[in-house]
Amino acid sequence: MINVAVLGYGTVGSGVVEVLESNKELIAKRVGDEVNVKYILDLRDFPGDPYESKVVHDVNLIMEDPEVSIVCETMGGAGAAYKFSKEALSRSKSVCTSNKELVSLHGPELLNIAKDNNCSYLFEASVGGGIPIIRPIVEALTAERLDAVMGILNGTTNFILTKMDKEGADFDTTLKEAQRLGYAEANPEADIEGHDARRKIAILSSLMTGKHVKDEKVYTEGITRITAADFKFAHSFNATIKLLGMAKRAGKNEAEAMVSPFVIGNEHPLATVNDVFNAVFVTGNMLGDAMFYGKGAGKLPTASAVCSDVIECAKNLGKNLSCDWSDEEVKLLDVSDVERSFMVRFDAAAVNEIKNAFGDNISDVTLDNEMAVLTAPMKESDFNAKCEALKDAVHNRIRVL
């Protein structure tokens, strides 16, 4: 029997117990041994819960029990979760986690501790919830040099942008609806300001480069300044607007990594990813493009991803399942040095100045005395200087993919 401890009996932790129990027989068949939840660690008691008897409050019971060989860290945060993960790994207990914050901050260190102690640190559930993306990158695409990884990495913001796109609603009304439906938190900042997507692209770009992309260094813009008018103009260019996490290789030792809303042509596969769904689009030097699509959040999809890691660890006890992610820091390009196009929404009265600055790919519609232009590609610093010179005539600008 292989014993597992679950740290944190919240949404994902309780889902992990549910998946391991519901699929007990098929998991045993695939592992070749029974996988048993021996402990559930939480500060709370759960009277009446079917697994009440497994709940413990003292983490030392788990750490000191030699029968526990796998720990699922579903606590979140980078405080106790960091301490417990280090301790479990240094005692040769593999750790499987959904904790993107911890993985993005301390991934290389935790991977090294796992390596030194012949166990594994796996984090399939940290990006894209139930979408298999970490193991495909680490294993199935291991013969590739990945040149770009980008995706819709946050379900809450994709739900909001999809509603704005389809219904012409404004941001505030749509956010309130998302909160009423339970898709957005009462405090939605981590989602709408792009912090959640930033942690996920930091992990993906680290795997793309094999080095550490520090989460706090990833340029991040959320979706709060996107308006119903921006969508109308995007439509006039046969495009939509999506919040993307994106990373691109730039030269041998550099990369571009950012989270930002992008205007994206309707023909791009990411333009068709709607509602709370997520998708990750990767470009390999041999493979070309591939897209992974599915449920990026939710109790059971996320728990299923954690359990897939549990099964991997259970099949490889005493071994280290490694991945190419060193602690050497990647040099990230300054966003102002990158060349791209922009969609600019502007005061229609300034159309001639706008044409002089950005060319004549102007929207064929005028709405409330505004028009929009799609610029030619230019360095972002040059673009900003032109906008500065046009002063109040520029009402919004969105990067174009």
- Kindly list the catalytic residues: 200
Closer to ligand HSE by Cβ: residue 27 or 125 = 125
Closer to ligand HSE by Cβ: residue 68 or 273 = 273
Taking CB under 6 A as the rule, does residue 306 contact ligand HSE? Answer: no
Closer to ligand HSE by Cβ: residue 265 or 294 = 294
Least distance (Å) between residue 194 CB and ligand HSE: 11
Taking CB under 6 A as the rule, does residue 155 contact ligand HSE? Answer: yes
Contact yes or no for 30/96 (Cβ under 8 A): no
Taking CB under 6 A as the rule, does residue 297 contact ligand HSE? Answer: yes
Least distance (Å) between residue 338 CB and ligand HSE: 26
Torsion of CA 233, 346, 244, 217, to 10 degrees: 180
Radius of gyration of the chain from Cα atoms?
23
Closer to ligand HSE by Cβ: residue 156 or 240 = 156
Taking CB under 6 A as the rule, does residue 128 contact ligand HSE? Answer: no
Give the Cα separation of 119 and 157 in Å (integer). 36
Taking CB under 6 A as the rule, does residue 301 contact ligand HSE? Answer: no
In the list 73, 101, 196, 256, the residue contacting ligand HSE (rule: CB under 6 A) is 196
In the list 69, 156, 174, 220, the residue contacting ligand HSE (rule: CB under 6 A) is 156
Closer to ligand HSE by Cβ: residue 261 or 296 = 296
Segment interacting with ligand HSE (CB under 6 A) among 148-156, 246-254, 308-316, 384-392: 148-156
Give the chain as a 3 state SS string. Answer: CEEEEEECCCHHHHHHHHHHHHCHHHHHHHHCCCEEEEEEECCCCCCCCCCHHHEECCHHHHHCCCCEEEEEECCCCCCHHHHHHHHHHHCCCEEEECCHHHHHHHHHHHHHHHHHCCCCEECHHHCCCCCCCHHHHHHHCCCCCEEEEEEECCHHHHHHHHHHHHHCCCHHHHHHHHHHCCCCCCCCHHHHCCHHHHHHHHHHHHHHHCCECCHHHCEECCCCCCCHHHHHHHHHCCEEEEEEEEEEEECCCEEEEEEEEEEEECCCHHHHCCCCEEEEEEEECCCEEEEEEEECCCHHHHHHHHHHHHHHHHHCCCCCCCCCCCCCECEECCHHHCEEEEEEEEEHHHHHHHHHHHCCCECCCCECCEEEEECCCEEHHHHHHHHHHHHHHEEEEEEEC
Give the Cα separation of 94 and 284 in Å (integer). 30
Least distance (Å) between residue 156 CB and ligand HSE: 3
Least distance (Å) between residue 168 CB and ligand HSE: 23
Taking CB under 6 A as the rule, does residue 194 contact ligand HSE? Answer: no
Give the Cα separation of 310 and 326 in Å (integer). 23
In the list 129, 151, 245, 301, the residue contacting ligand HSE (rule: CB under 6 A) is 129
Segment interacting with ligand HSE (CB under 6 A) among 46-54, 131-139, 153-161, 239-247: 153-161
Give the Cα separation of 26 and 11 in Å (integer). 23
Closer to ligand HSE by Cβ: residue 85 or 99 = 99
Segment interacting with ligand HSE (CB under 6 A) among 24-32, 67-75, 154-162, 201-209: 154-162
Taking CB under 6 A as the rule, does residue 154 contact ligand HSE? Answer: yes
Q: Is 261 exposed, middle or buried (0-12, 13-18, 19+ CB in 10 A)?
A: buried
Taking CB under 6 A as the rule, does residue 191 contact ligand HSE? Answer: yes
Taking CB under 6 A as the rule, does residue 296 contact ligand HSE? Answer: yes
Closer to ligand HSE by Cβ: residue 3 or 99 = 99
Closer to ligand HSE by Cβ: residue 154 or 283 = 154
The residue ranges that bind ligand HSE (CB under 6 A) are: 129, 154-156, 191, 196, 296-297
